[in-house]
Amino acid sequence: MYSTLAITNSKKSGRIIGTHQKLDKIAFKIVQKKLPTGVKFPDIKTILLFEGMGGPDGLKRKSPGKDEPMHFIIPGNDDGKLIKMIKDHQYNLRKALEKGDDIRAAFEAAWMAHAVTDGLTPAHHFPLEETQKELMTEKEFVKVFGIPIKGIMHGRNSLETLRNNWLYWGSNGYMSKHIGFEYGVALTLTALPTAKVMPKISDEEFKNPRIEESFYNSFEKVAALNMYDKFRHNGWTTDLAFETRDILLPEIIKAIALCWLASLPRTKGKNESK
């Protein structure tokens, strides 16, 4: 969802405060330095074509409620859907790289990175999807600046309808909190130079990166902080900003880079990355 914080419907979407795009750019710099000789990876400009309106968030804007990729993972109650989605992108990315299909490879790289980023974002560790199902109807939409979004949540009567919408969109509502947390992360990243969020990755981690290990190692570190629970109770604090700078953003960048590297075509003598 971070990419929606960029310029709406612009060809330059993401160049100013598109958080997904910024994270991808930093991860790409890491991957560039670790590519094996003779292995080609799509350039970052092509990858970013599939973020913003060309990415999962764009799909939600263009056709809300239809085939939306849900990037939620609940600590302690992981249903395995997100990691399966990431591994599907891995399979498709590897095949595209083997065929030399730069466009398909860029698409898979971008959508994989988006899923990894959302999955490591504390706001996505809250069961918002279940809350939506409880409060929303799939038939009702409103338009904001011409973009259809899920909006009106009908109850059995006008009072229940008002209650449902306040729970979701009110000043302390589920979606309002979700968006508020992501804006805090976006603004934190915008104010920081790349060096401040560059992760430390050991040679051993680079040697044979694996999708599940790389993702879940970062997931466990982030989930242990309970950042979203603290935000819901206390709002955006200095401590949260420091945790975002020192742990959250570096872990997201690290996971993107390692998941991309784990998707490279296999070479002789290299163990299979999973």
Whether 142 is covered by a domain: the verdict is: no
Are the C-beta atoms of 77 and 24 separated by less than 8 Å? Answer: no
Q: State the CATH number of the domain containing residue 39.
A: 1.10.575.10
CA–CA separation, 147 vs 50, rounded Å?
19
Whether 157 is covered by a domain: the verdict is: no
CA–CA separation, 256 vs 211, rounded Å?
10
Q: Can you spell out the DSSP letters for 102-125?
A: HHHHHHHHHHHHHHHHHHHSGGGG
pLDDT for 199 beyond 90? yes
> Over the stretch 249-272, which tens digit does the pLDDT of each residue have?
999 999 999 999 999 998 644 444
Residue numbers of the domain that contains 27: 2-136+182-261
pTM recorded for the entire structure: 0.78
Whether 268 is covered by a domain: the verdict is: no
Structure tokens at 127: 């069961």
> Over the stretch 233-250, which tens digit does the pLDDT of each residue have?
898 999 999 999 999 999
Q: How does residue 146 score in pLDDT terms, banded at 50, 70 and 90? A: very low
CA–CA separation, 6 vs 12, rounded Å?
9
> Over the stretch 44-58, which tens digit does the pLDDT of each residue have?
999 999 998 887 766
Q: How many domains would you assign to the chain? A: 1
Whether 15 is covered by a domain: the verdict is: yes
> Over the stretch 86-96, which tens digit does the pLDDT of each residue have?
999 999 999 99
The pLDDT, as a whole number, for residue 261 is 97
Whether 274 is covered by a domain: the verdict is: no
CA–CA separation, 256 vs 218, rounded Å?
10
Identify the helix (H) or strand (E) that includes residue 142.
strand 141-144
